Chains A and B, each alone.
Chain A
Amino acid sequence: MMMMMMMKVMMMVTVMVSEGSIIEQTCKETPDFNLCVSLLNSDPRGSSADTSGLALILIDKIKGLTTKTLNEINGLYKKRPELKRALDECSRRYKTILNADVPEAIEAISKGVPKFGEDGVIDAGVEASVCEGGFKGKSPLTSLTKSMQKISNVTRAIVRMLL
C-alpha cells in the first residue's frame, strides 16, 4: 500500500519534471529559447509531440502570423494610401509564405524530407525581410516582421534536427 502510494507520488512528480522537458530540451537548441517554449506550450499538441510534431506546430504559427500580417496589410491600404506600392509588394511576399512556403514545409516535414521544409521556413523570414525593406525605414509592420524573422529562425533550428 505504501509502495503503491510512493510509486504514484514518484510518477506524478516525474511527470511534473518531464512534462516540459521535450519542449525545453528542443528549444534549448534554437536561437530563442523563450519564444520557442511559449509558442510550443501554447499549443495543446505541444506536450505530446515529437520533433516533427513540434516543427509542424511552429509552421502553423508561421501560417497564423502570415494571415494576421496580411490582414494588417489590407487594413493599411486605407489608412496609409501613400504606402500602396510597398504594401503591394508585401502582400505578394506574404501570399508566397501562405501559398508556397507553408504547404511546402508541411508536406516535406510530414513525409520525412525535411530539407525542403527548411527551405520553406527560411524563405518565410526572407519574404518578411524583403517586405520590411520596401518601406525604406518607415515600416508600419516592423513588429510583425520581427516576429516572423524570429519564428522562422526558431523553426529552422528545429527542422534541422530532423535532417
Chain B
Amino acid sequence: MASSDALLPISAREEDPLCPYTRLPMADPNQETHGRRRRPFKGLLAVSFGLLFIAFYVALIATHDGSRSNDAVIDETKTTTSRARLAGVSEKSNDGLWKLSGDRNTPAFEWNNSMLSWQRTAFHFQPEQNWMNDPNGPLFYKGWYHFFYQYNPNAAVWGDIVWGHAVSRDLIHWVHLPIAMVADQWYDSNGVWTGSATILPDGSIVMLYTGSTDKAVQVQNLAYPEDPSDPLLLKWVKFPGNPVLVPPPGILPKDFRDPTTAWKTSEGKWRITIGSKLNRTGISLVYDTTDFKTYEKLDTLLHRVPNTGMWECVDFYPVSKTAVNGLDTSVKGPDVKHIVKASMDDTRFDHYAVGTYFDSNGTWIPDDPTIDVGMSTSLRYDYGKFYASKTFYDQNKGRRVLWSWIGESDSEAADVQKGWSSVQGIPRTVVLDTKTGKNLVQWPVEEIKSLRLSSKQFDIEVGPGSVVPVDVGSATQLDIEAEFEINKESLDKIIRNASVVAEAEEFSCEKSGGSTVRGALGPFGFSVLATESLSEQTPVYFYVAKGKDSELKTIFCIDTSRSSVANDVVKPIYGSVVPVLKGEKLTMRILVDHSIVEAFGQGGRTCITSRVYPTSAIYGAAKLFLFNNALDATVTASFRVWQMNSAFIHPYTEEAFRALTRT
C-alpha cells in the first residue's frame, strides 16, 4: 500500500506519463467573466463533482488495496503463464538444476583442466582465448578470405566488444591477425558491433557496422581499408563523417543494428536493410545510397512479421532456382528467389524464408506466409545451437557461404576457467534446394576435405535393438558420411498396415524422449563421443514414422541428454523433420570436433549443431558406435569415417604468412 511517503510533491510527478491530470489547463480567465452571473450554481456543482471524484478515488485506493488477496490468486495464473513463456525459450535455464541440486545423490561436477582443455576444437574457427560472438564482414579480397568477429579482448563473457580479424586461403586454415577495429570514437565507444562488407564493382571494399555511441545509441558507421593494396587488410579507417545513419523517427535508439551487405537496385543505387522492431513486430528497414555516406530511407519496409520481436543480423540475398552455384547479392530476375533471414532476439533462433523481391519499392513477400520469417513454424538454417549467422558471396569460387556463431552450452564459470567461449560453425555453402524449391540446402565447404586423413569404409547390417562399436581408433576429430536403408518388409508392414497409427506428426526430437525411446522404424544412427560403457554418448539419428497421409516421415535429431554426466551444462535434444524424396536413401554427414558436433541430414536439408561436454568420453576414451533402437526393423548402414587433421589455426607470423602464400 502506498504510504504517505508516496505523496511526493506534485512538481516531482509532472513528467509522470501515468498521471493524466498534470496537463489540465489552468482556469480560463475568459470563462470567468462569462460565468459571473451563474457562479453560485457553478460553485455548488463544482463542490459536488469534487466530492464525487474524491469519493471515487478513495474507493479506487480501497479496492486496489483490498484486492491484493485476489491479486494473489490472479497472480498465480499469470505466474504460470510467465513460467511457460520462460521455459523452452532459452535453453539455458536453471530449472533443471534446481531439481538436481535438491537430489542428494547427484554430486556437483568438478571440472579439471584436462577435461576443459579437451573441449577446444581442432578445426573450427575460434580465437586463441576469450569471448567471441557474431561473424562480421566476411569477404574474399586479393586471394584471401577475411573473417571478422565480435570479440571481447578482456574476458570470456560478452563485453567490451571490438572486431577480431583472421585470414585464410581456404576458409579452413586460419591465421589470427591484430584487432581490426577498436572502440575509439564517440560513435562506437560503447561497442564496435556487427556489420557487413560490400565489394564495389571496382573491387574496393566498404564496411558498414553498428556502433554503440557514448550515449549507448545504436548507429551505423562506415569504415574502409586504410591501404587497399594490403591483401591482409590489417588497418581500417573510420569515415570522419560517422555516423552515417542514426535511428529514424519511430525506432528506439536500442533497436537499430546489424546493417547488411548492399545490393544494386535497378536505378543504380545501393540498397541495404537493417533489422528492428515496432513493439513486438519484427521489421527490416530499407535505405538507398549512392556513396554509402548519405542515405534515403524508404517508406516501405523490406518485410515485417508480427509477434516475432527484435530482428537481429538480418540477411538478404538471391538464390538461383535452377543452378547450384551462389549468386552475387545484386542479382535479380525470373530465375532467382530471394531469402530473408533474421536472428530472433526472443528465441535465439535463426529463421529464413524463401520469397520474391520487388526492387521497385524494396519489399519482399514470402512464398508461404504460414512459415514466414520468425514464426515458430518457419524454417531454420540449423535446429541446434546456432545464431547470428551471416552469408557472403564468394566471388572467388562463385558460391554463397554461411558463417554462424556457435555459443557454449556450459556454465560461465567453466568458460572463465578454460579461458574461452564460443566457436564458429564450419562455413557452409548455401543454395536453394532445386528439388523441393522450398528450402535451402547447406553443406560444409569443399575445402574441409583437405583435413581428411585416413579413412575406413563400413557396411553393417544392424538388427533391431543393437549397438555396434565402430573401430576407427581416435574418435574426437571425425568426418562421417553415411547412407542408411531400412529393410523393405519392415517398411511395408508399417505403410500397408492400416492399424499402425500415424505418429510422425506428434513426434518431436525435443519432446519425444530422445534416442532410447523405441519405435517401429527407429531411432537409428551413430552415437559419437561415447564411452565404452555408453555412460556418456551423443546419438545422432533418424526416426522414421508413419504420417497422417500414410506416407513415411523422417525426423533427424541429436540427443545431448546423455552427452555428459556433468550437471552444469545444458543438454537438449535438437532436430527437425527432414524432407526425403522418393527414391532417396537416408543420408547423414557428421563432423565431430571435440566439444562441437555438426550433423547434416539428406545432404544438408536439415542441419543440427550441438555443443557437448563429456567428462570421460574424451581423448582416447571417446568411441564411435552405430545403433538401431527400432523395435523390429533391420537397418543397413554404409558409411565411411575419416580421421580429421587439425587446422592449426594460429597467430600471424612471417613464416605462417609465407607458408600460406605458397599454397
Residues of A within 8 A of B (CB): 2-22, 28-33, 47, 86, 89, 92-93, 96, 99-101, 103-104, 107-108, 110-116, 118-120, 122-123, 125-134, 136-137, 145, 149, 152-153, 156-157, 160, 163
Q: Are A19 and B6 in contact (CB under 8 A)?
A: yes
Q: Are A111 and B191 in contact (CB under 8 A)?
A: yes
Q: Are A28 and B78 in contact (CB under 8 A)?
A: yes
CA distance A137 to B108 in the complex (A): 11
Q: Find chain A residues with CB under 8 A from B460 CB.
A: none
Given A96-B412, A96-B413, A101-B157; A16-B2 close (CB under 8 Å): yes
Q: Are B10 and A12 in contact (CB under 8 A)?
A: yes
Q: Are B413 and A129 in contact (CB under 8 A)?
A: no
Cβ contact of B47, chosen from A2, A11, A127, A128, cutoff 8 A? A2
Q: Find chain B residues with CB under 8 A from A13 CB.
A: 54, 57-58, 60-61
Q: Are A126 and B97 in contact (CB under 8 A)?
A: yes
Nearest-CB distance from A73 to chain B (Å)? 14
CA distance A133 to B413 in the complex (A): 15
Q: Are B82 and A107 in contact (CB under 8 A)?
A: no
CA distance A12 to B255 in the complex (A): 36
CA distance A104 to B218 in the complex (A): 18
Interface residues of B in 83-139 (CB under 8 A from A): 83, 85-86, 89-90, 92-94, 97-98, 100-101, 104, 106-110
Q: Find chain B residues with CB under 8 A from A15 CB.
A: 2, 6-8, 10, 13, 16, 19
Cβ contact of B82, chosen from A17, A118, A130, A157, cutoff 8 A? A157
Q: Are A31 and B46 in contact (CB under 8 A)?
A: no
Q: Are A130 and B413 in contact (CB under 8 A)?
A: yes
Nearest-CB distance from B388 to chain A (Å)? 10
Q: Are B57 and A133 in contact (CB under 8 A)?
A: no
CA distance A31 to B106 in the complex (A): 26
Sample (21) of A-B pairs whose CB atoms are under 8 Å apart: A2-B46, A9-B50, A11-B13, A17-B2, A17-B60, A92-B417, A93-B411, A101-B412, A107-B160, A108-B159, A111-B191, A112-B253, A113-B158, A120-B412, A122-B90, A123-B92, A125-B97, A126-B94, A136-B104, A137-B104, A160-B89
Nearest-CB distance from A84 to chain B (Å)? 13
CA distance A19 to B2 in the complex (A): 7
Is B659 engaged at the interface, CB distance under 8 Å to the other chain? no
Q: Find chain B residues with CB under 8 A from A89 CB.
A: 108, 110
Q: Are A10 and B21 in contact (CB under 8 A)?
A: yes
Q: Find chain A residues with CB under 8 A from B93 CB.
A: 122
Q: Are A129 and B216 in contact (CB under 8 A)?
A: no
Q: Are B97 and A6 in contact (CB under 8 A)?
A: no
Q: Are A130 and B2 in contact (CB under 8 A)?
A: no
Given A14-B57, A136-B104; A112-B254 close (CB under 8 Å): yes
Q: Are A14 and B21 in contact (CB under 8 A)?
A: yes
Cβ contact of A31, chosen from B6, B8, B82, cutoff 8 A? B82
Q: Are A120 and B21 in contact (CB under 8 A)?
A: no
Q: Find chain A residues with CB under 8 A from B16 CB.
A: 15, 18
Given A93-B413, A149-B98; A118-B216 close (CB under 8 Å): no
Q: Are B157 and A133 in contact (CB under 8 A)?
A: no
Nearest neighbor of A107 in chain B, beta-carbon distance: B159
CA distance A129 to B255 in the complex (A): 34
Is B644 engaged at the interface, CB distance under 8 Å to the other chain? no
Is B479 engaged at the interface, CB distance under 8 Å to the other chain? no
CA distance A22 to B47 in the complex (A): 32
Q: Are B107 and A133 in contact (CB under 8 A)?
A: yes
Q: Are A21 and B18 in contact (CB under 8 A)?
A: yes
Most buried by B among A13, A21, A93, A120: A13
CA distance A47 to B5 in the complex (A): 11
Is B502 engaged at the interface, CB distance under 8 Å to the other chain? no
Most buried by B among A10, A30, A32, A92: A10
CA distance A127 to B411 in the complex (A): 7
Is B43 engaged at the interface, CB distance under 8 Å to the other chain? yes
Q: Find chain A residues with CB under 8 A from B8 CB.
A: 15
Q: Find chain A residues with CB under 8 A from B71 CB.
A: 28, 33
Cβ contact of B100, chosen from A20, A129, A131, cutoff 8 A? A129
Q: Find chain B residues with CB under 8 A from A131 CB.
A: 108
CA distance A103 to B631 in the complex (A): 52
Nearest-CB distance from B569 to chain A (Å)? 9
Interface residues of B in 266-317 (CB under 8 A from A): 309-310
Other A-B pairs beyond A130-B567, A160-B346, 17, CB < 8 Å: A2-B47, A7-B24, A8-B10, A10-B54, A14-B21, A17-B2, A47-B6, A86-B108, A89-B108, A100-B416, A104-B412, A110-B216, A115-B348, A122-B94, A126-B92, A127-B412, A130-B413
